[in-house]
Every structure is written in C-alpha cells, then in structure tokens.
Amino acid sequence: MYLHPLLGDHNPLIDRIAHHFSTIGLAGTDLLAIDHLCYRVETLSRYSQLKAQLSATDILVDESEINGRPISIFRLSNPLTHGLYEITALELPAPLESKPYKEGFEHAEFLVPSLKEFKEDYFMVDFDQKDLGKEVNPCLALKIDDIGVKFHEKHILDVVRIQRETGKL
C-alpha cells in the first residue's frame, strides 16, 4: 500500500466507493481500472504550492484552464494502489471561487470496456448521463454522499493526448 507523502491516504475514499458499489450490485470485476483520483484544495495558493511539490516527484502532463480555473493532470511516478488497482494519474483542480472545497481526495474515475454495455448491465443504477454525449470522453456518473464517481472508456492520460492532437477540450 503506497501512500503519497504529499496527499495522504487515498484508501478511505476507494473503500467508501467499493462499499457503495456492493450495496447497488455493481461488480468490481466490470471495472477495468481506476483511471485517476482527484485531489481538491481550498485555496489557489495551496493549488500552486501542491502543484510545485508534485512536479518535483511526479510528471505534470497537462495544465489547462477549465471553467475559469487551472486543472493539472499528473502521471504519478509511484502509482497509488488499492487491492488489485494501480492508479497512475492524479487530477489537481484549483478551487472555484463559488464552490469552496475541503482539502483531500474528492472523486475517482473508473475505466469500463463499453459505456453502452455498462449502462445496460446496470440499468437499475440511476446514473447521471449528462456527459454521455461528450465528444472526447463521454461518461456516466454517480454521486455517493460527497464523493463523485465517473465511468468512461478512455484513460485521462489518453484524453490529454487526444485533446492536444485535436485541440478539443
């Protein structure tokens, strides 16, 4: 179990998600991987500080402005692990002025082989489908109390590459 020295323990987030999955009948075997975790910060100065600290040990693959604030994507030099999952990427968004966040892990995104089949297999789950029509990386989403969970077919590092090649966010 690797704990990132700057971020702390990611396992409680994934344990809460896994517990919820078991209560709704979602089988972990249908999930290919944990694509990435998102770590939120409370202030822009903390974002800048943590981005610099992470950049010293991990690879900053992208920083883009989305919804009026920067979001950094890192390839982790030492992947985080949870059970059989190896998590190779981290999303670090700067906070939105209108939405304060408590610092810590906030959401996880999972890879599935096919969104269409996943949605059909778990028809009883009330997925948020508003991003299902996105051009670059469509997804299904769930909210578990204060935790966000998304399911999609492309790894975030592949999405960054596609966005660079096509110029589409």
pLDDT at 6 over 90: no
Q: Which residues does 94 contact at the CB level (< 8 Å), separation at least 6?
A: 41, 44, 47, 69, 70, 71
Look at phi and psi of residue 135 and say left if phi exceeds 0, alpha if psi is from -120 to 50, else beta.
Answer: alpha
pLDDT digits (tens, 9 = 90+) for 117-164: 999 999 989 999 999 988 888 999 999 888 889 999 999 999 998 888
Taking all residues of the chain, what is their mean pLDDT, rounded to a whole number? 89
pLDDT digits (tens, 9 = 90+) for 61-73: 999 998 889 999 9
pLDDT at 108 over 90: yes
**What residue spans of 106-153 are helical by DSSP H?**
115-121
Residue 17's DSSP bridge partners are none
State the pLDDT at residue 7. 87
| Residue 140, number of CB atoms within 10 A of its CB | 21
State the pLDDT at residue 3. 54
